[in-house]
Structure 1
Amino acid sequence: MMRNRLIKSVGPKLLPFLLSSIVYFALQPQKWEPSPYRIFFKCLPIVSLCFFVLSYYFSIKKRYSSLILFGLILSCVGDACLIYCENFFIHGLLFFAMAHLTYIIAFGVSPAKWSVLCVCGFLGLSIYLFMLPGLQNEMIFLGGLYILLILIMAWRAVARLQVFEKMWTWTKICATVGAILFCISDFVLAVNKFRFPVPYHQEIIMGTYYTAQLGLALSVVELSSRGDENTTQVCSKKKEN
């Protein structure tokens, strides 16, 4: 019953995103010269997700929805900058860094889950040391800062999942998968740009990126908020018993 409600509520709203994503991969505008048309087709799926999030804007998760929406908008601007990579790569990097900061604020600081932070910290240091030989000038600092922010974002997404406490919901899973896929997308982009060519890098980068943003957008769905409250109440009653 719940699944049917979910499909009927969410499915039609995601059609613009799905169709625009199919059009993007069919036309392959990443192979075109930088132009407004290329910006349009690259950003259209994210713009579609912005409207999807707006449809849940007045739910009881309004603050969370607002932050996710703002993160999507910042990402969209970052996408446009990266099309003109030679001149605006750092600008795009900074817009995506602000998007990750927005997602971090949305996910909050509780629960901490220090073990997850340790794993993310180890991965972040390893990735930075791996990328360091290819970084020059300001990218030595900016690259490290970006890695720090995106892995903090992944930490906060994974930490709030609370699998072992049985307080997870499908929207938290969507946010977690989205955060992890975002890390994979950016890692492949960085390796291809600063270390060595990655086969089919455009398909991998954009496929994981669009799916990542879809997961983050799905985490605002209003139906989940009732599930969150019910899950919390069940866990509280178990503790009391």
Structure 2
Amino acid sequence: MIRTLFVAAITIMGIIYIFFIPPEAVGFKIFMKLIPMALVILFAIGTRSFLPRMYKRMIIIGLFVSMIADGVIYWFLAGLVTFFIAHLFYIFAFRKIPRKAIPKWAATLLLLYGVGMAYWIAGSQFRIGEHFLGIAIIAYISIILLMGWMAIRTHLPLVIMGALLFIFSDSVLALDRFVYDIPYRDAFVMITYYAAQVFIAASVGSRAIKFSVNPKSLIR
């Protein structure tokens, strides 16, 4: 019941931030942006864990660092670096789960995504002489790709959903910033971002399960 109330509160505050707070009120908009993440952190803290204790700690720290990143993302490089650090904590958390093989098709899709986004986004910056930013973008693509890889290896549905939504959210944000304008960008980015963090927070209550898979279709 309490978990349901937390999810409802996160949803309501997220809707208020996305659709009702004007962009001109920057300070207030940042404050409202952080409220759903603060609720997500409390949601994770209050979720009973069936996984290794360190998993929950790393997830909570990752959520907290993400909340800081939400506040400084208006200074793009500062936000990029802070989210990079948040992904490191998520990766450390996912490593605490007994890891299984990743399907070849999933590995292929992740690698194609990484190469494509590096060429498309980072390449656009190299072409205009922004080499430092291009390198920073490649580093971020690499870390979020690794985060997605490690998430899939846990075979925990909530972890995988959270990671994939995070990748989608960041992809929309990057394409809009560096390639072309995307209609309703803020809604696409923030809805999937908040959903990603809720799934990751909820994964604290997951149970490690075994899957029956065809070993010939896996990368070990």
Query: TM-score interval w.r.t. the shorter chain?
Result: 0.7 to 0.9
**Cα gap change, 1:47/1:119 in structure 2, threshold over 3 Å: closer, same or farther?**
same
CA–CA separation in structure 1 for the residues paired with 2:49 and 2:196: 23
Provide, for residues 31-87 of structure 1, a one-character-per-residue CA deviation record: whole Å limited to 9, x for no partner. 22421x1111011101101111111377654211111111111111111111xx3xx
The equivalent residue for 1:168 is: none
Do the aligned partners of 1:57 and 1:65 also contact (CA within 8 Å) in 2? no
Q: What RMSD, in angstroms, separates the aligned Cα atoms of the two structures?
A: 2.1
Q: Give the count of matched residue pairs.
A: 205
The equivalent residue for 2:218 is: none
Q: Find the residue that maps to 2:131 and give its secondary structure.
A: coil
Do the aligned partners of 2:59 and 2:93 also contact (CA within 8 Å) in 1? yes
- Per the normalisation by structure 2, the TM-score is 0.84
The equivalent residue for 1:158 is: 152
The equivalent residue for 2:93 is: 106
The equivalent residue for 1:40 is: 31
Q: 182, 185, 197: which is aligned to 2:181?
A: 197
Query: Does structure 1 residue 91 correspond to structure 2 residue 78?
Result: yes
Q: Find the residue that maps to 1:32 and give its secondary structure.
A: coil
User: AA paired with 1:105?
Assistant: F
The equivalent residue for 2:119 is: 129
CA–CA separation in structure 2 for the residues paired with 1:59 and 1:13: 19
Query: Does structure 1 residue 208 correspond to structure 2 residue 158?
Result: no
Of the two, which has the highest radius of gyration?
1
**Cα gap change, 1:122/1:58 in structure 2, threshold over 3 Å: closer, same or farther?**
closer
Do the aligned partners of 1:120 and 1:152 also contact (CA within 8 Å) in 2? no
Shift of 1:9: 5.5
Shift of 1:206: 0.6
Do the aligned partners of 1:56 and 1:65 also contact (CA within 8 Å) in 2? no
The percentage of aligned residue pairs carrying the same residue is 27
Q: Find the residue that maps to 2:40 and give its secondary structure.
A: helix
CA–CA separation in structure 2 for the residues paired with 1:65 and 1:190: 29
Shift of 1:24: 1.4
Shift of 1:141: 0.8
Query: Does structure 1 residue 12 correspond to structure 2 residue 5?
Result: yes
The equivalent residue for 2:107 is: 117
The equivalent residue for 1:22 is: 15
Q: 61, 68, 71: which is aligned to 1:77?
A: 68
The equivalent residue for 1:169 is: none
Q: Structure 2 regions of 5+ residues with no counterpart? A: 213-220
Q: 135, 143, 165: which is aligned to 1:141?
A: 135
Shift of 1:122: 2.1
Do the aligned partners of 2:3 and 2:47 also contact (CA within 8 Å) in 1? no
Q: Structure 1 regions of 5+ residues with no counterpart? A: 1-7, 162-171, 236-241
Do the aligned partners of 2:90 and 2:147 also contact (CA within 8 Å) in 1? yes
User: AA paired with 1:157?
Assistant: A
Shift of 1:220: 0.7
Q: Find the residue that maps to 1:220 and give its secondary structure.
A: helix
Query: Does structure 1 residue 217 correspond to structure 2 residue 205?
Result: no
CA–CA separation in structure 1 for the residues paired with 2:25 and 2:14: 19
User: AA paired with 1:95?
Assistant: T
Query: Does structure 1 residue 188 correspond to structure 2 residue 172?
Result: yes
- Per the normalisation by structure 1, the TM-score is 0.78
The equivalent residue for 2:160 is: 176
